[in-house]
A and B are shown apart, each in its own frame.
Chain A
């Protein structure tokens, strides 16, 4: 499974990267960590003319924790997120999800930008981006723009990025203190793509749920926030009855596929189980 032939460029500015992408008119591909791209090339599912490596571009691997949220550069690797002490407190849901990404060696190379651009519907990062309402800052020949996560993922392995655009950073909104949250995924083996996963959080005022965000991965073409489930939760008090109702609503709200790994019926039931378990953990846990 040797890779097909391609040219390799390692520009030193993001504008140079964009320039090469534009010149190659869609035939070039960006390489970040390479952990998703290189297997694609090994299977000869893609044959780019040029690989544009972002590694030499400075400042793409910064993690900035600010009042209005966290800005994570596209080249930040999973291991950087895992080892960043302040990030666990600033974005606990993100940090919890990253622990599930693939394996140790992959996490030493794979990047947040690469995962978002690859857009696997069962991957954790796209699910976190959707659940948290992230914004992606991208740069292209037409300039810089911000794409909300909900407009970014358009299909399995498909995003709204133009062929000359590069993700520069992802911005996650500030995390409110006292927030309840949980991340639950189920895969047959450690590190496998999730058969389904749930990422959620909500705030509580006087014991009443508000601003619930409930996201699901692996149960459709794209990761989704389940507005139907959020509507069930918002304005109510958490108890086992509400949790069960929310979970059933989640199962009904998703449209998973049948594939060689699992049937749609199984995935639906799994979503119900994971949303239920996530809500139980969120409501019981002593999160700060």
Chain B
């Protein structure tokens, strides 16, 4: 029976909206358990040092304080947080769940206060005496590389890891190329900044010896495995339960020190422990991201064929290697070449530890940065070679004949697997974007001074890797009333999976969407799941649901055939009803009421999908203030198959605005002592409603992915990836008369003004 696609592809309004709009969402801060204690963390005020004295007596004596936990209260050895992917050199750089003797970044947890209320817990923090003998803080790249101060005893280096991406013969290519250009670029440290801070509530049931962790997100199954091991429990004794989540963007959901500490306290003291991160601590406690500098060279033919890319990127991963800390490092070398055909590549990325908050993933990790480096290079090359900026891209973009296109191998192999662009003609989105944007007409104002502002345009291309493997699982159970419960291992972080998965399930089962209920994320639902990251939920979770649906329909057919006493192949199944040739019928609900009708599904793939696209920007720069208006921004992508155009469009638009924040205003600034100078939302400036009103996003379904039954490609991150490169190119184009070349982000008004001022003199 061929499913009739009615929901997939439709702009179905989101199921989850109903409770969010009524204020009935349940986020971790809204969740309570009887008898709970509140946790607050004392965090190191010093970037690097030896703890000489930690005196908690006064805090313990305060009314309402129940306990104080320090490293001394954790049985040795203090657990270290494991990595998500294997790597031969990073082990010494793992983060202990609490600082013990040494602190390595401002914000590192040193003690945990447990009290009857969050207010008292916070009051008690101020009563703890913490004396630290400061060590020299390693803050910048030079100091880190100089190795005079090593962050970790027993290592001989602050370089935690090195990744290389290689292809072809780069030396030969550069030797013989007509054109070679070397440039240095830098992306600033910034952070995902979800509107909801983190939180956890750990509940230990002493009778059943089971631990439940509320407030899971993104990776509940991995985190459960890690926590169980740290606490010497069987995995089945731990549940990670996902509630509503206020945004993740790659930062929330990884295993953090607080995951262990809150759980440990729940078991040690026999009370539920609730912790809600406050915004001030959030700035030093949640993973940072994106700080990289690149020294790269491009080699081209006279006609503009890209012959090679080589260079070195230094990534500041902060004081410890986080579970996903290597993802941006290995990504930047593999994806710097983006959507282009580049026959010779040698790129090396080094992960440097420094005394700052540890860094992890943020939407399009390593990809945003790589695209910025590559697209800036291309515009510079185009100008030097006297080539049209569209033409230099068009001739190098991957086309259908190239597919599958193997990207450069990354070594050491970290289990991510070698990867290949799956399908597409990347010129399609470039051409469509140029047309929608009005590229030809806009050339007339490029670089011109109009009413006191310089106007500039630029266009660039990108790929978005999605559907990270290895697999995802789903389970379906028919209910008595004819509905079907769907459990999937994907996690909700705001992307609307309750709706998107229901669309897929309803179409696959051939029943109305109202009868499908999607439950996600919690480890109690499935034996094994993998979570939401790398734009994988729709593809992996959705494909697992398709698989489960097929299995459920087979099981239904078998049961209905038995009960109707007909051969299975004689039954026609539609709308959740099995009909025998003589007209007798049986529905899901009929079966579900009397016997178990359930099925598991799974989708495994080691092949990523590659959404591809292009974006164009028109900016107007006020040279007197350095202020930039984004007059128009158009992004066109081919996602293979659109499941819900409403939610897809929302993801792309939201991601684009995050990209503008990265380009224009967001930065985490450290001083020479490793003090983070940004500690409030007044200082950390994300885009407002007044900043970027002109964004147009168009999604196409031209080349489905051959790598999954839906034909869909992951599309949650593509919106952010091209913004850095395209917008900074537009600014360079606007200021061409000054010869301003933006090489560093962010381009805040004062920083851009300084570039213009320097170019003038």
Please give the residue numbers on chain A whose beta carbons come within 8 Å of chain B beta carbons, in ascending order: 1-5, 39, 43-44, 186, 188-193, 195, 260-263, 265-266, 269-270, 273
A1 CB contacts on chain B under 8 angstroms: 122, 278-280
- The answer on a CB contact under 8 Å between B624 and A269 is yes
Q: Cβ of A4: which chain B residues have Cβ within 8 Å of it?
A: 123
Name the 10 nearest CB pairs between A and B, nearest first.
A262-B750, A266-B750, A2-B119, A273-B624, A190-B690, A1-B278, A260-B677, A2-B122, A260-B669, A189-B688
Q: Are B682 and A260 in contact (CB under 8 A)?
A: no
B691 part of interface (Cβ distance < 8 Å): yes
User: Which of B278, B625, B626, B690 has a CB less than 8 Å from the CB of A189?
Assistant: B690
Query: In angstroms, how far is the closest chain A Cβ from the Cβ of B29?
Result: 13
Whether the pair B749, A188 counts as a contact (CB closer than 8 A) is yes
Q: How large is the interface on B (under 10, 10 to 19, 20 to 34, 35 or more residues)?
A: 20 to 34
Most chain-A CB neighbours within 10 Å: which of B624, B677, B683?
A: B624
**Quick one: CB contact mask for B731-761 with A, threshold 8 Å, 1 for yes?**
0000000000000000011100110010000
A273 touches B625 (CB 8 A): yes
- CB of B627 within 8 A of CB of A186, answer yes
Q: Please tell me if the beta carbons of A189 and B627 are within 8 angstroms of each other in the complex.
A: no
CB-CB under 8 A from B685, the residues of chain A are 188-189, 192
Majority secondary structure of chain B interface residues (helix, strand, loop or mixed): loop
B750 touches A195 (CB 8 A): yes
CB distance from B172 to the nearest CB of A (A): 46
* Cβ contact within 8 Å between B669 and A266: no
Contact sample, A vs B, 7 pairs, CB 8 Å cutoff:
A39-B680, A188-B665, A188-B685, A195-B749, A260-B669, A269-B624, A269-B753
A193 contacts B126, C-beta separation under 8 Å: no
Q: Which of A189, A265, A273 contacts B754, CB < 8 Å?
A: A265
Complex contacts, A39 vs chain B, CB 8 Å: 680
Q: Which residue of B lies closest to A1 (CB)?
A: B278
Q: Does B678 contact A (CB under 8 A)?
A: yes
* Given A1-B280, A4-B123, A192-B682, A270 and B625 contact (CB-CB distance below 8 Å): yes
A269 to B752, CA, bound (A): 13
| Closest chain B residue, CB of each to CB of A43 | B280
Contacts of A269 in B (CB 8 A): 624, 753, 757
Most chain B beta-carbon neighbours within 10 Å: one of A2, A263, A269: A2
Interface check B118, CB cutoff 8 A: yes
- C-alpha spacing A188/B126, complex, angstroms: 35
B119 and A266 contacting across the interface, CB-CB below 8 Å: no
Q: How far is the CA of A265 from the CA of B749 in the complex (A)?
A: 13
Q: Would you give the shortest CB distance from B269 to chain A, in whole angstroms?
A: 22
Q: Is the CB of B625 within 8 A of A186?
A: yes
Q: Which residue of A lies closest to B622 (CB)?
A: A273
**Closest residue of chain A to B279, judged by CB?**
A1
Q: Which of B126, B665, B669, B678 contacts A44 (CB 8 A)?
A: B126
Chain A residues lying within 8 Å of B679, measured Cβ to Cβ, are 43
Nearest neighbor of A44 in chain B, beta-carbon distance: B126
Q: A44-B126, A189-B688 are in contact. Are A2 and B750 (CB under 8 A)?
A: no
Q: Which residues of chain B from 452 to 502 have a CB within 8 Å of any chain A CB?
A: none
Within the complex, the shortest CB–CB distance from B690 to chain A, in Å, comes to 4
- A263: contacting residue among B119, B122, B677, B754, CB under 8 A: B754
Instruction: Output the nearest chain A residue to B686 by Cβ-Cβ distance.
Output: A189
Question: Bound complex: CA of A190 vs CA of B692, how far in Å?
Answer: 12
Residues of A contacting B683 in the complex (Cβ-Cβ under 8 angstroms): 260-261
| Distance between Cα atoms of A191 and B685 in the complex (Å) | 11
Interchain CB contact under 8 A, A188 and B748: yes
Given A43-B280, A189-B685, decide whether A5 and B123 contact each other with a Cβ distance below 8 A.
Answer: yes
Please report which residues of chain B, range 269-321, place their CB below 8 angstroms from some CB of chain A when the two chains form the complex: 278-280
Instruction: Using A191-B688, A195-B750, A270-B624 as known contacts, list a sample of 15 further A-B pairs with CB atoms less than 8 Å apart, ordered by residue number in A.
Output: A2-B119, A4-B123, A43-B679, A188-B665, A188-B748, A189-B665, A190-B691, A260-B677, A260-B678, A263-B754, A266-B749, A266-B750, A269-B624, A269-B757, A273-B625
* B574, chain A: closest CB distance, angstroms: 54
Complex Cα distance, B749 from A269, in Å, reads 12
Give the distance in Å from the alpha carbon of A39 to the alpha carbon of B126 in the complex. Answer: 18
Within 559-598 of B, Cβ neighbours of A (below 8 Å) are at none
Report the minimum CB–CB distance from A168 to chain B (whole Å).
30
CA distance A3 to B278 in the complex (A): 12
**Across the two chains, which residue of chain B brings its CB closest to A262?**
B750
- Assembled-state Cα–Cα distance A3/B664 (Å): 33
| Pairwise interchain contact B757-A265, C-beta atoms closer than 8 A | yes
Which listed residue, A5, A190, A260, touches B688 by the CB 8 Å rule?
A: A190
Chain A residues near B627 (CB-CB < 8 A): 186, 188
A266-B753 in contact (CB<8A): yes
Chain B residues with CB under 8 Å of A262's CB are 749-750
| Residues of B close to A189: CB separation below 8 A | 665, 685, 687-688, 690-691
Query: Whole-angstrom distance from the CB of B625 to the nearest CB of chain A?
Result: 5
Nearest-Cβ distance from residue A246 to partner chain B, whole angstroms: 16
**What separation, in Å, do the CA atoms of A169 and B683 have in the docked complex?**
32
What residues of chain B lie closer than 8 Å to A266, measured between beta carbons? 626, 749-750, 753-754
Distance in angstroms from A1 CB to nearest chain B CB is: 4
